[in-house]
Amino acid sequence: MRFAVSLLSILGIASVVGTVLKQNEPYENYIIKFGQFWFGLFEQLGLYDVYHSSWFLVILLFLIVSTSLCVYRNGPLMIKEWRTFKEHASEKSLNAFSHQATFDMTSGLNVTKQQLMQFLQAKGFQYKSVVHADGGELIAAKAGTHQRWGYIFTHTAMVIILLGGVLDGNLPFKVQEMLGHKRIETLDIPESQVPEASRLSTSNPSFRANMTLPEGTSDHVAFVRVRDGYLVQELPFTVALKDFRIEHYATGQPKSFESDLVIIDPDLKEPITKTISVNHPLLYKGIAIYQSDFQDGGTALDFNVWNLFAPDNQPQPLAGAIFGKGTLGEGDDALTVEYNDFRKFNIINMSPDGKGKPHNVGPNITYKLRDNKGQAIEYVTYMQPMQIDGKHYFVAGMRQTVQDEFRYLRIPIDDELSINGFMNFRAIMLDAAKYPEIARKIARNSLDVGKDPAVVKQFENSVVQLLTIFAQGGYSQVAQIIEKNVPEKEREVVASTYIKMVRVAAYEAYNMGLAANKKPLLVSDAKTEALLRDSLNSFSDMFFYGSPYFLQLEQFEHKEASGLQLTKSPGQKWVYLGSVLLVLGIFSMMYIRERRIWLLLKPDANQVLFAMASNRKNLDFEQEFNVYREQLKGLLT
Amino acid sequence: MNSNSPDYQQKTLLQRLNWQDWLYALVLAAGAVFAYTRYAQYMDIYEVGFLFGATAVFSYLGWQWKRLSILVLGIGAVSVFSINLYQGEQARATQVFLLKYLISSQSAIMWMNVLFVLAMATYWFALYKRSEFTGKVATALTWSATLFGFVGLMVRWYESYLIAPDVGHIPISNLYEVFVLFCLITALLYLHYEQRLNTKQLGGFVLLVVNAAVGFILWYTFDRQAHNIQPLVPALQSYWMKIHVPANFVGYGAFSLAAMVASAYLLANKGVLASRLPELDVLDDLMYKSIAVGFAFFTIATILGAMWAAEAWGGYWSWDPKETWALIVWLNYAAWLHLRMVKGFRGPVLAWWALIGLIVTTFAFLGVNMFLSGLHSYGTL
Ligand code: HEM
């Protein structure tokens, strides 16, 4: 018994471990988190998959054995208690009861006996009477002894549930792994090359495996994730995905995920077609197929690639597909593009305080740019301009490692809602050949400069110089130069002059870009101010973008892949059976109250001895005893 | 000799029913039929089953506990009245006087909060003054709070369909809604025992835990705008939710009740308030009964959850943190019951255990959502 409670506690604590430490993460995450030493130790202890570790299994087995033994030992006792009326109780033992009373018998023995039996019947007691040698008679009664089955039901139920659970666990694989027949595959190789030792045949009694099917494809294997590797589970049929759909609420949140599946099996005259969705799986040949998640299935992508630092402003087309690769640039500077993910809908809460409603900001794409040393930077780009603080921007984020947050480049849109305005502006700002013209324009429009050619020349030179510096690294470059060359006291004044001058230059540059494309020019107003401020910020941020390439998604052809989960769990019906038993057992244990009554009729003394007992002494019993005592008293006297 | 009219005869339930009881059941049945004819298009076969099943369950409960039947009728009447005031337009919630200040879903829930706070204060005052009348006022306040809370939920249910028919769902789908449910169930369980044991001294204790939940609701409403109705994620679109969640909350409510009784027990055991509180035996018994009820419902809820998981996630048990913590809570109370029933433990040890059990339960209920991530998709803070 103490053992049982201890086991329950240990099971509880073991379970806690598995919830505190995130289970089944990729192993590198654990290494980063714990360091090599602790990582190794925790791995030995099986802490990354507690619920499938050997020691956890051992606890469960202990529980099964000890509970079985408990039922084996107490079960017969309980059945005996359930059956017996305990009609052999002696007067002496009845007298020793804590709940007893003696009444005078005013009627004859038989009449009294009749009355008492009616009483017991009315109260729902079953009874049995025995005549004693001295002429007395004992009526032994019981009610609610079905409670005793509660014990048997609950505890048998626990054994059945646990056995069912073990049946659905991966015990067969664990044994084969220990014997060296099977091992997990940790390499990312094509399924057909996975060796026999890492494959599970169709006769595997239970499994829980995953399958990712792009639209229009089919497969007859699924993957079982085990620790940091996987096993290939062969299926007795082929699953094909015709179509995958996501439906959305008006707010953009997903409403349903559905897959149109086709089951192809030589045993079938016709393939089965069925649509599955979350909460509505398909069952075939003992294998249940669930809609579990979805991902991209190789969406085709068309980009415009801008080289941010090249003064020519013609974007280059680039085509690719998710999970595919591409190349940007040439020679040693060439970068590999790895297209990782495409999302058609992105529900983001864009309000500054986070209290507004989330809404859909349209498609985005995640990709990595990898240099020839293998270093990669991850990027995310949104296809459509996003509204931030009332203005629209093209937004692209970058980060060096998965742990970092994305840092975003925000490029303001032009009047035609396109990126071209900024790109033209950027081209002119980078083109040293354009600086003298910008400088001349500023000088002409500026009242402060005056007409003295020498002063004008000097002014123009300083503008050209400033633009040259700005083109090398934006504001931060300018700040560095100031810090190097200007005494501390004057820095603020100089900086604000420079900023003002860059602003004015930007105005001219932007307009030159517009003029070259025969677009209407900017007018001096607050909106233009904001546009120029944003454009200059983007220009400055460009230098922190990590690569010269800005990929702008032009078009896509969406292809999705449905994430299916396939399970075979022969233990499930046992678990359910056990559950029903468990509920029955608990209710009978707690809501059926076992009570026993003995009525000893003593014709010699003309008395009736009333005794009552229960295996659970609680208040209900006290009350019931008091009521019965009063009622019997009324009945008999 | 009174064998001709034995007064010990117990009447069966059916014999005890009078015409009011039958009328009550009839009204419920009529309501269910009305709801069915009106909303059948939104229900699947299981939900139709639940609708009529609920009618039977509430008839039975109302027969057993008359005050509950009055509450049920009150909830029905006020909810229907409120829904009529909406006239199918959500905007009227803030335009019509009665809705805006009394019985729109949001206002009704606010009234519930206010009434629970008042009720707690009144219970403590009654305990302090040993005033029977004040105690009655406290009871009345608690009943009103549950009335408003349930009306709030019923109207919220209706409101969710006003947003869009496909958004509509039973309001037990996120943390905000289940907290309201928790307050209501805990209060009802308490009221039941209050009447059964004929003691009002425990109200202040039990309402402590209810008002902790009220505090959470207020914070969640004002700081996080959690009262806004959100559509259901696909995993929650299941009839299972309609039974799994309430069963769970009967469990949580009963465990909380037990813990608060345990705290009263511990105080009385130390002599604090002992003259005002019920006998230790009574407290001990109530603690046991409450845990027994909680345990039974929690078992059912966990099993229902497993069955739901088998349908939604592809396995009846995935060791998802919420699941695992439900198991831990269950094991905890299983151990508690073992000690009491098998070893015959009584007294302070078990009371302490029941109190600490509340911490474990709270973690399963709230902490998991806050600190651990998993498959359970409702209610992140
Ligand atoms: C899988 C682990 C176990 C679980 C989940 C479990 C659960 C339970 C539950 C729920 C109760 C009923 C409490 C009540 O009626 O309120 C109970 C009672 C009991 N358990 Fe266990 N139990 C387990 C293992 C054991 C073991 C190993 C023993 C053997 C010593 C045992 C002996 C008992 C006894 C003697 C009772 C009381 C029966 C009665 O008085 O009617 N249990 N158990």
User: Does the distance separating the beta carbons of B331 and A12 come in below 8 Å?
Assistant: yes
User: Does the distance separating the beta carbons of A255 and B166 come in below 8 Å?
Assistant: yes
- From B91's Cα to the closest Cα of chain A, the distance in A is 18
Of B167, B315, B334, the CB nearest to A8: B334
Contact predicate A166/A635, CB 8 Å: no
User: Does the distance separating the beta carbons of B325 and A254 come in below 8 Å?
Assistant: no
Q: B350 contacts in A (CB within 8 Å)? A: none
Chain center to CA of A201: 30
Contacts A–B by Cβ distance under 8 A: 142
Q: A616 contacts in B (CB within 8 Å)? A: 341
pLDDT at B2 over 60: no
- From B344's Cα to the closest Cα of chain A, the distance in A is 9
Contact predicate A537/A410, CB 8 Å: yes
**Residue B297 vs residues A162, A584, B178, B197: alpha-carbon distances, Å:** 20, 12, 16, 22
Q: B331 contacts in A (CB within 8 Å)? A: 8-9, 11-12, 15
Instruction: Please tell me the predicted confidence (pLDDT) of residue A25.
Output: 74
Residue B182 and residue A86: Cα distance in Å, rounded? Answer: 46
User: Does the distance separating the beta carbons of A257 and B325 come in below 8 Å?
Assistant: no
Which residue reads 């249940």 in tokens?
Answer: A288
DSSP assigned state of B232:
P
Weakest-pLDDT range from A43-47, A237-241, A341-345, A479-483: A43-47
**Token pair of A124 as six digits:** 């729902």
Break chain B into its structural domains and give their ranges: 233-381
- Taking Cα atoms as reference points, which of A151, A153, A126 lies closest to residue A140? A126
Chain center to CA of A151: 38
pLDDT in tens, A583-628: 999 999 888 999 999 999 998 888 999 999 998 878 889 999 999 9
Q: A20 contacts in B (CB within 8 Å)? A: 372
Q: A253 contacts in B (CB within 8 Å)? A: 230-231, 233
A 565-594 residues inside an 8 A Cβ radius of B: 565-567, 569, 572, 575-576, 579, 582-583, 586-587, 590-591
Q: For A602, phi and psi rounded to 5 degrees?
A: -115, 90
User: Does the distance separating the beta carbons of A15 and B327 come in below 8 Å?
Assistant: yes
- Which strand (E) or helix (H) includes residue A597? strand A595-602
Alpha helices in A543-571 (DSSP H): none
Instruction: Provide DSSP, A168-206.
Output: HTTHHHHHHHHTTS---B-S---GGGS-GGGEE-TT-S-
Q: B237 contacts in A (CB within 8 Å)? A: 256, 278-279
Of B10, B238, B331, the CB nearest to A122: B10
For residue B23, the CA-to-ligand 1 centroid distance in Å is: 43
- Give the pTM: 0.83
Confidence of residue A5 (pLDDT cuts 50, 70, 90): confident
Residue of A nearest to B302 (CA): A579
- From A27's Cα to the closest Cα of chain B, the distance in A is 18
Of A118, A251, A355, the CB nearest to B231: A251
Task: Report, as an integer, the average pLDDT of A289-304.
Answer: 91
Which residue reads 């729109």 in tokens?
Answer: B104
User: Does the distance separating the beta carbons of A1 and B343 come in below 8 Å?
Assistant: yes
Sign of the CA dihedral running A311, A329, A323, A543:
negative
Q: How many Cα atoms sit within 13 Å of B113 on the Cβ side?
A: 20
Instruction: Please tell me the predicted confidence (pLDDT) of residue B86.
Output: 92
Residue B308 and residue A112: Cα distance in Å, rounded? Answer: 58
The verdict on A621 touching B (C-beta cutoff 8 Å) is: no
Instruction: Provide DSSP, B32-89.
Output: HHHHHHHHGGG--HHHHHHHHHHHHHHHHHHHH-HHHHHHHHHHHHHHHHHHHHHTT-
- Which are the contacts of A66, defined by CB distance < 8 A and separation ≥ 6? A3, A4, A7
Contact predicate B24/B69, CB 8 Å: yes
- From A595's Cα to the closest Cα of chain B, the distance in A is 16
Ligand 1 pocket, Cβ-based, cut-off 6 angstroms: A 1, 4, 8, 63, 66-67, 70, 74, 151, 154-155, 158, 586, 589-590; B 292, 334, 337-338, 341-342
A147 Cα nearest atom in ligand 1: 41
For residue A67, the CA-to-ligand 1 centroid distance in Å is: 8
Q: What is the three-state SS of A36-55?
A: HHHHHHHHHCCHHHHHHCHH
Confidence of residue B40 (pLDDT cuts 50, 70, 90): confident
Confidence of residue B78 (pLDDT cuts 50, 70, 90): very high
Q: A292 contacts in B (CB within 8 Å)? A: 313-314
Strands A560-568 and A287-296: antiparallel
Residue B225, SS3?
coil
For residue B341, the CA-to-ligand 1 centroid distance in Å is: 9
For residue A155, the CA-to-ligand 1 centroid distance in Å is: 6
Contact predicate A598/A140, CB 8 Å: yes
Pick the residue with more confidence: B160 or A616?
B160
pLDDT at A451 over 80: no
User: Does the distance separating the beta carbons of A587 and B231 come in below 8 Å?
Assistant: no
Instruction: Please tell me the predicted confidence (pLDDT) of residue B4.
Output: 43
Per-residue b or e along A259-271, where b marks 16 or more CB atoms closer than 10 Å to that residue's CB: bbbebebeeeeee
Residue of B nearest to A570 (CA): B315
- Taking Cα atoms as reference points, which of B210, B213, B232 lies closest to residue B221? B213
Residue B326 and residue B306: Cα distance in Å, rounded? Answer: 11
Interface test with A, best of B237, B282, B322, B331 (most A CBs within 10 A): B331
pLDDT in tens, A177-217: 889 899 999 888 888 999 999 999 999 999 999 999 999 99
Query: Mean pLDDT highest for which of B143-157, B158-172, B306-320, B366-380?
Result: B143-157
What is chain B's alpha carbon radius of gyration, rounded to the nearest angstrom? Answer: 21
Instruction: Please tell me the predicted confidence (pLDDT) of residue B377.
Output: 44
What is chain A's alpha carbon radius of gyration, rounded to the nearest angstrom? Answer: 41
**Closest residue CA from atom 41 of ligand 1:** A151
The verdict on A18 touching B (C-beta cutoff 8 Å) is: yes
Q: A113 contacts in B (CB within 8 Å)? A: none
Q: How large a percentage of chain B has pLDDT more than 70?
A: 96
pLDDT at A487 over 60: yes
Instruction: Please tell me the predicted confidence (pLDDT) of residue A352.
Output: 65
A 276-315 residues inside an 8 A Cβ radius of B: 277-281, 288, 290, 292
Strands A386-388 and A207-214: unpaired
Confidence of residue A354 (pLDDT cuts 50, 70, 90): low
Task: Report, as an integer, the average pLDDT of B259-275.
Answer: 93
For residue B174, the CA-to-ligand 1 centroid distance in Å is: 34
pLDDT at B186 over 90: yes
pLDDT in tens, B100-157: 899 999 999 999 999 999 999 999 999 999 999 999 999 999 999 999 999 999 999 9
Q: Which of B332, B341, B343, B350 to mutate to test the pocket of ligand 1 (most atoms within 8 A of CB)?
A: B341
Confidence of residue A353 (pLDDT cuts 50, 70, 90): low
Query: How much of chain A is in helix, strand and coil states, percent to nearest 5?
Result: 45, 30, 30
Give me the interface pTM, i.e. the ipTM.
Answer: 0.91
Q: A249 contacts in B (CB within 8 Å)? A: 164, 166-167, 231
DSSP assigned state of A99:
S
Average pLDDT value for chain B: 90
Of A15, A278, A572, the CB nearest to B312: A278
Strands A391-399 and A407-412: antiparallel
A74 Cα nearest atom in ligand 1: 35
Burial class (CB in 10 A: 0-12, 13-18, 19+), A189: exposed
Query: How much of chain B is in helix, strand and coil states, percent to nearest 5?
Result: 75, 0, 25
pLDDT at B5 over 60: no
- Taking Cα atoms as reference points, which of A132, A103, A100 lies closest to residue A116? A103
- Which strand (E) or helix (H) includes residue A258? strand A254-264
